[in-house]
Amino acid sequence: MKILFTGDINFRGKENLTFEESKKILTEVLPFAKNADFVIPNLECPLADINKYKPIKKSGPNLICGTENICFLKALNADAATLANNHMGDFGEGAVKDTLELLEENNILYAGAGKNVKDAYKACRIEKDGVSVSIISVCENEFGMATENTYGSAGYNPKILLKQIREEKAESNYVIVVFHGGNEFNPLPSPDTVDRYKFICDMGADAIIGGHTHCPQGYEIYDGKPIVYSMGNFLFKSRTEKNPNDSWYYGYMAILDIKDGISLETVPCKFDTEATKITVFEGDDSTKMMEYINGLCEIIKNPRLLKLYFMGWAWNHQWCPSLPEVYNNLEKYNASGNFNLVSCEAHLSQLKEVLWTLHNEETEIAEEWAEKIKELEKMPL
């Protein structure tokens, strides 16, 4: 059984795609999709009528795209979609509900969002030739998370996830967790992220597929289990003008081949600034991208080196005014943004790293590695 996962998909600037336009964008991807038994993209926005719903209060942009864009998932031959992310709940419960109903109407399975947290944690199950796989989709705790009685995404809760993995292990041969998290724009996972994903494997997951960072990160095999830290974006037009070679436009598809265990294949790709075409790298370009990604993998294997790179990255993205300053200047500071610093696991790791650096008076080391991580953020082609 081959399962193809894609990185983050959002239709910003492409709110009314047609089926033919979608096929054109996906021309170079479709051979890989047709060669897979199952195709599972990550949908990073509700598909609903923007005129029906109001944006929720949050930090960061509120994203929504029209129902017409379901044709892109159909053109991709998507069998299921993962929905647990920090944008699925951007326009409230109604938009989440409409998205779930739209997927059901088009016979596309889903995981990661639901009418309540229990429902959002339900796995979607796929099967071929007597081999069954459960897909669980969860995300870090930002905005739009499901609660006991409201629609939303499945926010990461170790106790709930452990229970769900155990239940699915009783029903399926394999359990794959798709995790939407990590520090945006960081080419490397934080040490906390590495520990978290390995812990989920220890819970019983047979593979972890990550997204959210808007840039490709590396991967590793842990106790025979593939961990993809982030595939990067698949198709996601930027809201600001970026250099065409910015890491925002790069990523890879992850193909899990299940046959007496799970092996991982990666297919590097990128899209243009207007999100009109996804290019799959071939030849020398593919070699250069894989050399870059493999270089990231080597850093991940070295805990000390990974810690230094994270120190440098966090120093470049401090995002942390002192709490008394925030409290005394509420009009100046964004309360939602600062709440997000401590509620989201990745942001909290970042905040702690900067404060720890200041506490230890290691700013010179941080500044040195801040320059090194800037170099690592550059794409090789």
**Amino acid letter, 24:** K
Angle at 35 between CA 276 and CA 210, to 5 degrees: 65
Say yes or no to pLDDT of 187 above 90: yes
- For residue 14, the model assigns a pLDDT of 79
- Section 43-55 average pLDDT: 96
| pLDDT 10s digits, 255-302 | 999 998 999 999 999 999 999 999 999 999 999 999 999 999 999 999
- Section 61-71 average pLDDT: 96
Q: Are 88 and 115 in contact (CB under 8 A)?
A: no
All domains of the chain in start order, with CATH: 2-302 (3.60.21.10), 304-376 (no CATH)
- For residue 327, the model assigns a pLDDT of 57
Model confidence at 332, in pLDDT bands (50, 70, 90)? low
- CA 118, 230, 22, 246 torsion-angle sign: positive
Distances 307 to 17, 312, 350 between C-alpha atoms, Å: 43, 9, 11
Mean of the per-residue pLDDT values of the chain? 94
- For residue 13, the model assigns a pLDDT of 85
Weakest-pLDDT range from 10-14, 17-21, 104-108: 10-14
- Section 191-216 average pLDDT: 98
- For residue 352, the model assigns a pLDDT of 85
- Section 60-73 average pLDDT: 96
- Section 197-225 average pLDDT: 98
Q: Are 84 and 113 in contact (CB under 8 A)?
A: yes
- Section 105-129 average pLDDT: 98
- For residue 341, the model assigns a pLDDT of 76
Say yes or no to pLDDT of 330 above 70: no
- For residue 62, the model assigns a pLDDT of 96
| pLDDT 10s digits, 217-252 | 999 999 999 999 999 999 999 999 999 999 999 999
Model confidence at 323, in pLDDT bands (50, 70, 90)? low
Dihedral of the alpha carbons of 270, 107, 79, 95, in degrees to the nearest 10: 50
Q: Quick one: tokens of 43?
A: 């949908």
Residue 284 CA to residue 291 CA, distance in Å, equals 10
The strands making up 124-128's β-sheet, listed across from edge to edge, are 124-128, 131-139, 174-180, 207-211, 225-228, 219-222
Q: Are 239 and 12 in contact (CB under 8 A)?
A: yes
Say yes or no to pLDDT of 213 above 70: yes
SS (H, E, C) 141-180: CCCCECCCCCCEECECCHHHHHHHHHHHHCCCCEEEEEEE
- For residue 339, the model assigns a pLDDT of 78
Proportion of the chain in helix, strand, coil states, percent, rounded to 5 = 40, 25, 40
* Beta-bridge mates of residue 133: 126, 174
Q: Quick one: tokens of 301?
A: 């294997």
- For residue 325, the model assigns a pLDDT of 64
Say yes or no to pLDDT of 320 above 70: no
- Section 128-137 average pLDDT: 97
**Scanning the structure block, which residue is given the tokens 């790298």?**
281
Say yes or no to pLDDT of 334 above 80: no
| pLDDT 10s digits, 134-146 | 999 999 999 999 9
Helix axes 283-300, 303-316, angle to 10 degrees: 100
Select from 215, 156, 158 the least CA-distant residue to 188: 215
- For residue 333, the model assigns a pLDDT of 63
